[in-house]
Structures are given as C-alpha cells and as structure tokens.
Structure 1
Amino acid sequence: MPQRKALVVGASGIAGSNLARALIAQGWDVAGLARRPRDEVPGVVPVAADLMDPGSLAVALTSLQPTHVFITTWMRNATEAENIRVNGAMVRNLLDALAPQKSVQHVALVTGLKHYLGPFEAYAKAGTLPDTPLREEQPRLPLENFYYAQEDEVYAAARRDGFSWSVHRPHTVIGKAVGNAMNMGTTLAVFASLCKETGRPFHFPGSQAQWEGISDVTDARVLAAQLIWAATTPAARNEAFNVVNGDYFRWKWLWPRLANWFGVEAAGFDGSVKPLATQMVGDEARWRAMAERLQLVEPDLQQLASAWHTDLDLGRPIDVMTDMSKSRKLGFTTYQSTEDSFFDLFAQLRADRLIP
C-alpha cells in the first residue's frame, strides 16, 4: 500500500495536535500546518503558512503531495459575516493551493454543534433551537453560519478535484492545547486551581438547563479516531458525522467529581448564572504570581483559559444530546468515559506543569 501522507491544518490546536499524534502512531507521514508551528508532536514536519495568504500557501505547500488533508482550524472574528468571509476563504485558499499537485484523495473538515445550535451571534437562542438528540440529517438553520461556508468550499473543491470528503461535528472538545480559543477542559482546570489558591468555591457558571439537563462532550482522542476512520473507510466517504464520547451526563453529577479531583468545594447552580468571565475578573495577576511561585510553564492566563467559550457552552437554555447512530452503523465504535476525559486531561496538564 502506498504511504499515506497527511496534512493536518491547525496542528497546534486541540483537535489537530491529538490527530497528529494518532496518525504518527499509526505510521503515517504527517505535516502540520500552522501560522506559528510548534514542535509538540515528535515526527510531525512543521509547515508555516498563513491560510489568508495564497502566496504564502503556494510556497509552503510546493511538492508536499498530501494524500489526506485534515482541516481542524478556524479564526474568530467580530461578526458572523466576517467569520464567513475569513473562514470560507481559509478553506478555499488551502484547497486551491493544493489543487495543482493532484495528490489529495480525501479532505476532512472539523466543524461542531453550532451547525445545529446556530452561530455565536444567535447561539442556542429561542426560535432556532433544534430537537435533540441532534442528528446529521437535520437541515441547516436559516441563519448565516461560517460552518456552512466552510462545508460549501470543501464540496465545491471536491467536485472540481475529484477527492472524497467527510465533515465531523464534535461537541465541546476536551484535550490539551495552549492558546486555543475553545478550551473548556483546561479552562475549568485553571479555574479550579485558582479556587484552591484563593479558598473560594468552585462555582458552576452556567444555566439551570445545563446544570440539570443531559449533555455530552468529545474527547480529542475520539475525534482523532473518527477522523482517521472516515478518511480510510470507503463507506464513510462524502458524509457528515456527529462525534461525541458515547456517554451522557448531567453537570450536577459531574461537577462535584471535578471539584473533588482538585480538592475544592463544589457549588452548584443556585438560581442565577455566574459566568466565569465575571468570576475570574482580576485573576490574570494572581495566575502570573502562582506561575512564578510554583514554576508553572505558562504565566499568561489568557493562553490557557477561554472563559467566554465555556460560558457560552454552559449558559445554554437547553440540554444537548448528540446522536452517534450514523457512524456506529458504519463501524465506528470508539467510546470514551467523559469523567476519564477530564481526569486524563487534568493529569496531563499537571504533569506538563501547566497547572499546579
């Protein structure tokens, strides 16, 4: 069998770095594209390029000849219209730059549940809430959404260049990454560490619906496994797939367990939403002092905690359940305990001296 050559776009993020590790472990040749590549994953060939600069891409991708492309990155902008313009262009520029090489066999795109719940500007708002469990066949919302723009760019390039594609829709992704814009697991680890430092309670920041309702998340390792499975399974070609751990939980059950791992007092929903963006005001200086005293490797709180995104997820007015039947029927059976997803991440963050 010819050697498979993967290009992981966004290789320094939660999804991309975990995917790169999984591909390397399975013997793939792997290149990792990022604006500022990191050498976190041994064996990955770093490729520095700006997805908004076609010239930069043309130079960086010359003779790379990937057989499989995994797009795991996006860029946040002030409005959804700008999200659409920028993120659509990033995908289009990438695939245009690769087209002359005629090597690409499959392109996988990672989006998420905002496909069903709406973009940031209308996220999980009344009037647009979908039925749960969320299923892949549910129609697009009648709203502007940069995920739809990214999908459309992949579909158009696939028709032009003849490759197969897959779209992957995780829920909140749990895994290690520094400087990531959507990082609930590390955000909660940092918040719990600050609670222990200050003696304040580990207070659930979200809504009653999230506290009491059913939810799920996606371990980055499960997402990586599905990406590889879909890229190498003929029956999975040209399909969109939900991807979550495979279990369900209620935050009122999980929250005390997370608190216990850190040895802090758990405080649940008490009738009002208490956003992390408010609870963590002033913690930047405190974290910097902690990092210096305890010899942590990242003193910048903003590189570890994304309070705004965790507040967005945990503040929703509905519970969220994601159906996995589609990929299960086609043979994807990977399962992960959500409790262990968080505990494994916390242990890794501690071992890597990102939290005390």
Structure 2
Amino acid sequence: MAEKKVVVAGATGLVGNAALRHFGAAGGCDVLALSRRRPRELHGFRHVQIDLTDPAQCRRAATELQGATHLVYAALYEAPNLVDGWRDQDQIRTNDLMLRNLMAALEPVAPQLRHVALLQGTKAYGVHVRPLTVPAREGRSEMYEQPNFYWAQENFLRELQQGKAWHWSILRPVLIVGETIGGAMDLIPPLGVYAAMLREQGRPLDYPGGAARVSQAVDVDLLARAIAWAGEAAAARNEAFNVTNGDVFTWENVWPAIADALEMKPGNAVPLSLAQEYPKWIAPWDELRRKHNLISPGLEEFVGLSFQYADYSMRHGRTQAGPPSIVSTVKINQAGFTEMMDTEAMFRKWFGLARSSRLLP
C-alpha cells in the first residue's frame, strides 16, 4: 500500500481536476476523488460520489477515507448569482458546513493525517469590494471584517488542528486558468465559445470587456504543484500563501495571443456581456458540436456560471481603468516554492489543449 493517501475533495472542479492530474503523473500515492459528478478523467484513481452538504453521505464514505494522509480541499459551493453570492450568508454557511462534514468523517478514520490544503483567493483581501493594497500581503492585508466563507473555514481548521499532529496550509491563487466542464470560475469555456461564435460569422476576435486593470493569473497545473509542495514542506505548516504565475497582465495585452491560439485575428474593443448574450448561442453551439465532432456538452452544462465570471474578470461595463489587483508572492518564494510561468504562454497552452482535446472547435 502507498504510504501517502491523498483525498481530493471537489475533484471535478478546476483545481481538484488539476490535483488529480498532478498526483497521477507524479505517482507513488493512492488518491481518492470526491465529487457529486464523476470526473471526466480519473487517472486510474477511485471516485466516491458524495454531496458534502449531507453529513450522512460523508459518514458513509468513512471506509473509503480510511488511512488518508493528505486532504486537498478544493470543493466549493457557489450561488446561482455568482458575484452577489460572494457576500451571501447562505453561501458562507454552506461552504463552512461542507468542510465540517468532511473533516468529521475523515479525522476519526485517518490517524496518520499529515496535511490539509485549503483554497482561498484574493477575496481574502476584499478584491470584490475595495481596491487592493498593492501588493496584498499575507498576514497584513486580509479583510477579516468582510463576511466570507474563507474565514469560517479557516477558523474551524485552526481550532480543529490545535494539539494535533497534522498541519494545514492555505493557498490563495489569483485568477485561475485551466480546463474543466461546468465550472463556476473557468474562463477557457466562455471565451472559447464566444470566439467560436465570432469565427462562424467570419469575424475577428473582438475584445468584449471593459476598461483595463493590471492583474495576475495562475496556471492551474502550477497551482496543483504548489498544493503538493505545501503538503510536504515544513515551511508551509499552518501558513497562508499567495500563488501567481509571477508576472502581471491586462486582458488587452494578452488578447492577441488568445486570438492567435484560436487561429483568429484580434479585433476591436466591442463591449458585450457574455452572461446576457449566451442564451442566443445555445442552438448554434449544438450545431458547432455536431459539425466539429466535439466532446463538450451543451452550452449551459459546459460553461456553468463562468459566463458571469468572464464578465466580472474582464470588467464588463467599466469605463474607467481599474485599480491594480496585485498580490505579493515573496512569502511562498522564500518558503521554497519558486515556480513561475509566462501568462501569455499559459493562455496559449489552455486554448490549444481545449481545441486539441475537442472541447472547442
């Protein structure tokens, strides 16, 4: 039996899926994938279908959770109205409950538990309600006064861990880019569908967003490696870390690279709400799926809430340049994780992969 058993909660999401890929490629460990839907690719690992909001389902999974040494907690409940939901008390309670239910089932059957990795993000610094202090730093810039499920989960883990042999690490990625189906915050499907609609009309790739803001992104595979690092590094015990690619970008300056990756010409700035426009694309998308023999599902199942997230990320409707959204990665670099990636290369990678795997035409 492998000495390391990793439980990945939220295995169908952007981060959980990348964690499965990482541990599958790294080898040498047993992995259990937890999610409500079966992941598209299990990389040879076992899957348990589970709704973490249901304590009875969590208790029933205890035999499968036995012997866990690491938990990657990437499960997430988002409200149907995505951005407003970030301040919603029900969303906070639901996410808090999910982690509590899982830990209540896992801890008693996992005496060898060594590490819990928890995902947060720049909402820890209030990016959704105020300009960030530039750069936002762990331990200095947190916005604890803003209601957020991060604080409920973090306080619960801190209290639970007291006097125990296991440790936690909190990862705070910026805009995460990767590939999943039906994610709430994955930009490849909504932008890829938007591009496909324009290409069918023989049009260039117009930029649909609002006024510029300097920000950061992180490749989801790089984030998965940071999570794996945190599970073993002494310097990561009971610490929070920002994680980015290491550079900055604006949508306008990566747009030509995105157009090129999709074999299109970059167009003009033509403001458009993807969340409002997409119902018109449902039938044409089905036509494109047939025409190009795509493996991706119907539009709403494929993109999930991510049309809303694309509007938010690209600042639809904003006519003034926004305050920069930049975090410091000095802490994680000094602790020993020093990987970087060019953000333009990251967008090329994921749009290229989505096309070669027949998710996008």
- Is 1:336 matched with 2:341? yes
Unmatched segments (≥5 aa) in structure 2: none
1:32-55 Cα deviation digits (max 9, x unpaired): 111122250322111121101111
Counterpart position of 2:49: 48
> Which of 89, 94, 106 in structure 2 is aligned with 1:98?
106
Report the Cα offset of residue 255 of structure 1.
0.7
Counterpart position of 1:19: 19
Q: What does 1:151-300 correspond to in 2, within 5 Å?
A: 151-159=154-162, 161-210=164-213, 214-269=214-269, 273-300=271-298
Q: How many residue pairs end up in the alignment? A: 344
User: What amino acid maps onto 2:313 in structure 1?
Assistant: D
- Change in Cα spacing, 1:274 to 1:160, as seen in structure 2 (3 Å) is farther
- Change in Cα spacing, 1:299 to 1:292, as seen in structure 2 (3 Å) is farther
Counterpart position of 1:89: 97
Secondary structure of the residue that 2:179 maps to in structure 1?
coil
Report the identity percentage: 33
Q: Give the alignment's TM-score, normalised by structure 2.
A: 0.89
Report the Cα offset of residue 160 of structure 1.
6.5
User: What amino acid maps onto 1:292 in structure 2?
Assistant: R
Cα pair 2:9 2:71 within 8 Å, conserved: yes
Report the Cα offset of residue 202 of structure 1.
2.4
Counterpart position of 2:69: 67
Superposition CA RMSD, Å: 2.0
User: What amino acid maps onto 1:355 in structure 2?
Assistant: L
Secondary structure of the residue that 2:162 maps to in structure 1?
helix
Cα pair 2:212 2:252 within 8 Å, conserved: no
Cα pair 1:9 1:71 within 8 Å, conserved: yes
Counterpart position of 1:146: 149
Whole-angstrom distance in 1 between the partners of 2:40 and 2:295: 16
- Change in Cα spacing, 1:250 to 1:36, as seen in structure 2 (3 Å) is closer
Higher deviation after alignment, 135-144 or 318-327: 135-144
- Change in Cα spacing, 1:193 to 1:352, as seen in structure 2 (3 Å) is same
Report the Cα offset of residue 161 of structure 1.
4.4
1:283-338 Cα deviation digits (max 9, x unpaired): 11110111112211124112333210111112173332221100100110111121
Secondary structure of the residue that 1:95 maps to in structure 2?
helix
Cα pair 2:37 2:49 within 8 Å, conserved: yes
Report the Cα offset of residue 2 of structure 1.
7.0
Report the Cα offset of residue 178 of structure 1.
0.8
User: What amino acid maps onto 1:51 in structure 2?
Assistant: L
User: What amino acid maps onto 1:350 in structure 2?
Assistant: R
User: What amino acid maps onto 1:222 in structure 2?
Assistant: L
Q: Give the alignment's TM-score, normalised by structure 1.
A: 0.91
Secondary structure of the residue that 2:107 maps to in structure 1?
helix
Cα pair 1:196 1:263 within 8 Å, conserved: no
Whole-angstrom distance in 2 between the partners of 1:301 and 1:198: 18
Report the Cα offset of residue 74 of structure 1.
0.5
User: What amino acid maps onto 2:328 in structure 1?
Assistant: D
Whole-angstrom distance in 2 between the partners of 1:181 and 1:342: 18
User: What amino acid maps onto 1:302 in structure 2?
Assistant: E
1:86-129 Cα deviation digits (max 9, x unpaired): 000001111111121223211000121111135xxxx2x4xx32
Whole-angstrom distance in 1 between the partners of 2:301 and 2:206: 22
